Amino acid sequence: MENMGLQPLFNLDSFERKPLFTNGFYQKDIISVSQFSKNDLDYIFTRANEMLEMSQRWGTSDLLKGYTLACVFYEPSTRTSSSFIAAMERLGGKVIPITEGIQYSSVSKGESLIDSMITLEQYCDVIVLRHPEVGSSAAAAKYVKVPIINAGDGAGEHPTQALLDLFTIRRELGQIDGLRIGMVGDLRYGRTVHSLTKLLSLYDVSLRYVSPDTLRLPLDLMNYLIDMKMDVREFSKVEDVISNVDVLYVTRIQKERFVDLSQYEEVKDCFLISTELMEKAKEKMIVMHPLPRVGEIEYKVDKDPRAAYFRQVQNGLYIRMALLAAVLGRA
């Protein structure tokens, strides 16, 4: 096309946007925890640590200047979308937030998820996708050229949550091998428990599961742990594990899971984390929770330095900064 003798807007010779690192993460989709090796985890955790230091020192950086993220949430999740938006913005990247109205918009006109994703990739360099259907991110990744980061696909996966959980354990306790880790609550339906369990199975750890009878770890996951020869045991009261775990990972038990509400009332105190219970815990241990909580950890516990759940939230920011930079070839 002719330029009409116009003064050009840009001097395009001076600069070229390009990847600095074309390692294993460059242009890769982040779909499932099963895609990570121990080496991958070390890499991301090292980068996340750098993100932490940079954030505390500078607040923001220009590492992702020139890159745009489309942050697409088909179901609201303030915590996760805020975390990804903050992560991209702190690295100097641009964000197109698509968190509302999407169900009333293109989709309501009958557009397929794939078409919506291919459309959005025309505007951006990476897509974060939350969608209620299992497998949605994997399906989208097949058709879309830019990297897709799964931010939760229904009962499926939420890999960045599992990464931030593991990163928290490592940051708080220095290492992962050798730890005894208790998980409490709804172990049957709890997506975060399943994903973290899979990541932990890469390490030499002891696993202690505490749940109501009807909400025990699913058979296939338990059998997988047994096949992996993990040191694993199940309990029905958090009291039975509190004194010798290094990590207590607490999750919510939804009343709705119980056919009989009186059954729920009967057992719920067995999974409550109170200041009294914390007196029996080791001096150096941490309590984690994916949040939101609705009563399973007493507010008074927040002041205990072993309460790591809000620091865990912050680690999510650093993990997401590291992943965004890695898939864009800038970390």
Binding to its own copies (CB under 8 A) within 124-163 occurs at 124-125
Q: Does 202 bind its own copies (CB under 8 A)?
A: no
Reported in sequence order, the residue ranges of the chain that DSSP labels E, i.e. its strands, are: 68-73, 94-98, 126-131, 148-153, 180-184, 206-210, 231-235, 247-250, 286-288
User: At its nearest, how many Å lie between its own copies and the CB of residue 51?
Assistant: 8
Q: Does 17 bind its own copies (CB under 8 A)?
A: yes
User: At its nearest, how many Å lie between its own copies and the CB of residue 236?
Assistant: 24
- Of residues 80, 160, 168, 251, which has the active-site annotation? 80
Q: Does 83 bind its own copies (CB under 8 A)?
A: yes
Query: Which of these segments, 111-119, 180-188, 212-220, 269-277, binds its own copies (CB under 8 A)?
Result: 111-119
Binding mask 272-311 for its own copies (x = CB under 8 A): -------------------xxxxx---x--x-------xx
Query: Which of these segments, 102-110, 157-165, 211-219, 256-264, binds its own copies (CB under 8 A)?
Result: 102-110
User: At its nearest, how many Å lie between its own copies and the CB of residue 109?
Assistant: 5
- Of 76 and 226, CB closest to its own copies: 76
Q: Are the C-beta atoms of 89 and 60 separated by less than 8 Å?
A: yes
Query: Which of these segments, 46-54, 180-188, 218-226, 227-235, binds its own copies (CB under 8 A)?
Result: 46-54
Q: Does 109 bind its own copies (CB under 8 A)?
A: yes
Contacts of 219 (CB under 8 A, 6+ apart): none
Q: Measured between alpha carbons, how far is 172 from 238 in angstroms, rounded to an integer?
A: 21
Q: Measured between alpha carbons, how far is 27 from 18 in angstroms, rounded to an integer?
A: 12
Which of 157, 156, 214, 159 lies closest to 185 in space, CA to CA? 214
Q: Does 110 bind its own copies (CB under 8 A)?
A: yes
Reported in sequence order, the residue ranges of 178-278 that DSSP labels E, i.e. its strands, are: 180-184, 206-210, 231-235, 247-250
Which of 83, 19, 97 lies closest to 51 in space, CA to CA? 83
Half-sphere exposure (Cβ direction) of 158: Cα atoms closer than 13 Å? 23
Q: Does 256 bind its own copies (CB under 8 A)?
A: no
Q: Does 67 bind its own copies (CB under 8 A)?
A: yes
Contacts of 226 (CB under 8 A, 6+ apart): 232
- Of 62 and 269, CB closest to its own copies: 62
Q: Does 59 bind its own copies (CB under 8 A)?
A: yes
User: Which of 32, 116, 137, 160 touches its own copies by CB under 8 A?
Assistant: 116
Query: Which of these segments, 3-11, 155-163, 226-234, 235-243, binds its own copies (CB under 8 A)?
Result: 3-11
Q: Measured between alpha carbons, how far is 322 from 91 in angstroms, rounded to an integer?
A: 10
- Of residues 130, 170, 191, 194, which has the active-site annotation? 130
3-class secondary structure, 297: strand
Instruction: Tell me how many degrees the CA angle 24-30-33 measures, rounded to the nearest 5.
Output: 95
Q: With CB under 8 A, what is the number of residues at the site for its own copies?
A: 86
- Of residues 65, 79, 255, 300, which has the active-site annotation? 79
User: At its nearest, how many Å lie between its own copies and the CB of residue 259?
Assistant: 21
Q: How many CB atoms lie within 10 A of CB 144?
A: 19
- Of residues 47, 90, 131, 158, which has the active-site annotation? 158
- Of 68 and 236, CB closest to its own copies: 68
DSSP string, 95-157: EEEE-SSTTTTGGGGT--HHHHHHHHHTT-SEEEEEESSTTHHHHHHHH-SS-EEEEEETTS-
* Residues designated catalytic: 79-80, 109, 130, 158
